[in-house]
Copies of this chain bind each other. A is one copy, B any other.
């Protein structure tokens, strides 16, 4: 779950989003952001260390590509919690089906 820390930064999430559309060179990525190129380089390093991106050296260019594996891992981490909001929606359905009577009783506070 090292990916969570990497994805906690909005710039890095945006990089991931860009790479989801296809691979890009480092400079090409850096051009999309208001921060300096070294800053993007560091972000890419964090993403690389988290396994979220992979680099391919192509002449003097570095081409970055998204590796979805950690996202899949995150998805798997999330899985056991899924029943929680599914259940809540079920409860809501029940509520609606009942015509939403006697609400104050279970509302609490």
**A35 proximal to B (CB < 8 A):** no
Question: A interface, by DSSP: helix, strand, loop or mixed?
Answer: helix
Q: Roughly how many angstroms separate A37 CA and B88 CA in the complex, as a whole number?
A: 31
A84 touches B56 (CB 8 A): no
A-B contact pairs, 28 of them (CB 8 A): A1-B10, A1-B13, A4-B4, A4-B7, A4-B8, A4-B13, A5-B8, A8-B8, A16-B81, A20-B80, A20-B81, A20-B84, A56-B108, A56-B109, A66-B84, A68-B81, A68-B84, A68-B85, A68-B88, A69-B85, A71-B78, A71-B81, A71-B84, A72-B85, A74-B78, A75-B78, A75-B85, A78-B78
